[in-house]
Amino acid sequence: MTLPQYNSHAFALRLATLTTLLVAGATLAMSNNIIAMAVGIFVLGSMFAHAVELQHQCLHYSAFKSRRTNKVIGVLLGLPTLTSFHAYRRSHLEHHRNLGTSSDTPFFIYRFVTAPSIGALMYDLFGISHLKASISAIFGNGDSRLIAVPNGDEPSNISEKFDYALMGFTLVCACLISMVFGPAIVLKLWVFPFLLVAQPIHFLVELPEHIGCDDGTTDVFRNTRTIVGSGFSRWFTNFNNLHVEHHLEPTVSMDQLPEIFAQVQAQHKQLVQTYWQFYRSLYRSIRSQSFAPSTDSQARRPA
């Protein structure tokens, strides 16, 4: 197992880029010009989804050398999409441990994987399962996706409770701002970007990772898909498109995954060049009814 390798300066630059684009998006979203407003909402939502990709690196403690810094930044990155850093970390580490076994349970659960239909697609596209679980946890009912790590070194549920309490505080602040300044500001800067943009984009990024791969084996080259992607998609997903490589070396800085990809490319069994190619293939498979649901151990849920 490769020891953790950090590139904190590169990650800090990604955070600076994220912040800059969030400010630009917010400025456009508050414009009176409807086109500029729509562009701003799209930019904000896209950056909310991008923030979850950056949060993913933090939960592996590979963004910064300090665990505390990873936690603080990770918690903040998940706030716009109500994604608990600690609950996500617990579940995601279990996903890495149990990939290819019956014990593998993902954090983001999609109906579309097990029963492809227009209804399931819409349900997942807008992240209804994630919303229900997060809202339930915020109001004290716990996160049903949380998996206890036996004999693990993870903190108690106090950590998750803090995340959801912070989300609850954020919701209260949003309500107060709506009451004082009107609902438009909250709708434009958070609600619309989150629900109409971030959720669908996150679904589209997550879905290719394991769906349609062989979940009856622990061979990562068979149960996981890598998408080569463009420079933009690699930046946007924080190199998580190289998903086989991430499962091979989950502790290294994400920007090192292209080097690993160059070494193992010939071993890939589930290699796709672009996201567009994946979705075209998925659409043709579903339309021809050749898509195999999870009941025959050929479809998987994302992490």
pLDDT digits (tens, 9 = 90+) for 33-65: 999 999 999 999 999 999 999 999 999 999 999
Residue 295: per-residue pLDDT: 33
- In this prediction, the residues of the chain whose per-residue pLDDT falls under 50 are 1, 147, 149, 154-155, 290-301
- Do 238 and 14 touch, CB atoms closer than 8 A? yes
- Do 237 and 205 touch, CB atoms closer than 8 A? yes
Residue 155: per-residue pLDDT: 47
Residue 296: per-residue pLDDT: 33
CA distance 47 to 40: 11
- Domain-embedded: residue 191: yes
- Domain-embedded: residue 3: no
- Domain-embedded: residue 303: no
- Domain-embedded: residue 30: yes
CA distance 46 to 201: 7
- Domain-embedded: residue 1: no
Residue with structure tokens 């800085």?
253
Which residues lie across from 271 on neighbouring strands?
226
Domain range holding 99?
Answer: 8-296
Number of domain units in the chain: 1
- Domain-embedded: residue 302: no
Helices in the chain by DSSP H: which ranges? Answer: 8-29, 34-59, 67-78, 85-98, 111-114, 118-125, 128-138, 158-181, 184-186, 192, 199-206, 220-223, 231-236, 243-248, 257-264, 275-287
Among residues 284, 127, 112, the alpha carbon closest in space to that of 210 is found at 112
Residue 42: per-residue pLDDT: 98
CA distance 71 to 84: 11
- Domain-embedded: residue 239: yes
Which residues lie across from 226 on neighbouring strands?
271
Cα–Cα distances in Å, from 295 out to 216, 278, 292? 11, 22, 8
Question: Which tens digit of pLDDT belongs to each residue from 126-173?
Answer: 999 899 889 988 987 666 555 454 555 544 566 888 899 999 999 999
- Domain-embedded: residue 105: yes
Residue 197: per-residue pLDDT: 97
Residue 43: per-residue pLDDT: 98
- pTM of the entire predicted model: 0.88
